[in-house]
């Protein structure tokens, strides 16, 4: 619980349920353990949808007014692709995405002498702008989605997600160093998606993101700098 009390900044990629599910409960927890507000960074379109459909007093209270509007639990911080956010000891670049609803990804660099960096793609179908922006960021690790297996590629195209084959095609235009950590596979399909990715882009050492995994931004070994 102390970990949840301590969260002060939350970056949202888009408004879909699987990407906002923690936020309403986190606001409630923050209100109970009230020490610092929660700042939520999101596109204006995402903020509008969440205020209208979640934090509307019907589905959940408006925590931007609780306990009072001058010192609320929840503060919204609108962002745009291309923005560079300075969040405590981190520099965060907002990356573009192409999804059913407006979405973004993020590249995260530490300012404390650590020179590793990582990016989170969010949900996205084919998006040349994302890979162009990512190439400027020199990240070591990319958390990327493959929501579907190759057999479900038509569904991936319809819903603006990726499959292993679509991700491999996207990567042909990306020359950066990033190792791939893959997420968003359907429950039970993780192993199949990982095998398909290894067959297509094994040189990127793709592996699935594990529940509870902690990714630390550290110094690179000297020979890589
Ligand atoms: Zn989505
Ligand atoms: Zn999703």
Ligand 1 center from residue 116 Cα (angstroms): 27
Using an 8 Å Cβ cutoff, are 95 and 78 in contact?
no
pLDDT at 56 over 90: yes
pLDDT of residue 113 exceeding 70, the answer is yes
Determine contact, residues 165/148, Cβ cutoff 8 Å: no
Here the tokens at position 103 are 């979405």
Note residues around ion ligand 1 (Cβ under 5 angstroms).
Answer: 16, 123
Per-residue confidence (pLDDT) for residue 223, from 0 to 100 = 61
pLDDT, one tens digit per residue, over 84-108 is 999 998 999 999 999 999 999 999 9
Q: In DSSP terms, which residues pair with 183 in a beta bridge? A: 145
Q: How far is the CA of 146 from the centre of ligand 1 (A)?
A: 12
CA of 219 to the centre of ligand 1 (A): 32
How many angstroms is it from 192 CA to the middle of ligand 1? Answer: 21
Q: Which two tokens stand for residue 14?
A: 């888009």
Separation of CA 183 and ligand 2 centre (Å): 9
Task: Please give the distance, rounded to the nearest whole angstrom, from the Cα atom of residue 167 to the centre of ligand 2.
Answer: 16
Residue of 121, 210, 219, 224 lying closest to 174 (CA atoms): 121
Question: What pLDDT is stored for residue 224 in this prediction?
Answer: 55
């Amino acid at each position: 619980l102390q970990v949840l009390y301590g969260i002060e900044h939350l970056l949202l990629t888009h408004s879909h349920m699987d990407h906002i599910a923690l936020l309403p409960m986190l606001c409630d927890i923050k209100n109970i353990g009230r020490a610092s507000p929660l700042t939520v960074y999101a596109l204006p379109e995402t903020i509008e949808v969440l205020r209208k459909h979640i934090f509307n007093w019907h589905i959940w209270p408006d925590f931007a007014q609780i306990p009072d509007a001058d010192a609320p639990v929840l503060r919204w911080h609108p962002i745009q692709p291309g923005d560079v956010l300075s969040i405590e000891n981190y520099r965060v670049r907002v990356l573009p995405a192409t999804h059913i609803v407006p979405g973004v990804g993020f590249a995260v660099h530490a300012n404390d002498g650590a020179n590793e960096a990582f990016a989170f793609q969010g949900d996205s179908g084919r998006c040349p702008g994302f890979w162009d922006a990512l190439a400027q960021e020199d990240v070591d690790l990319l958390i990327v989605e493959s929501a579907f297996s190759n057999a479900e590629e038509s569904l991936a195209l319809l819903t603006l997600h990726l499959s292993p084959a679509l991700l491999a095609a996207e990567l042909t235009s990306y020359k950066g160093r990033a190792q791939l950590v893959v997420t968003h596979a359907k429950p039970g399909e993780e192993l199949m998606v990982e095998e398909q990715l290894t067959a297509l882009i094994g040189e990127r050492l793709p592996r699935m993101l594990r529940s509870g995994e902690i990714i630390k931004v550290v110094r690179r070994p000297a020979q890589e700098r």
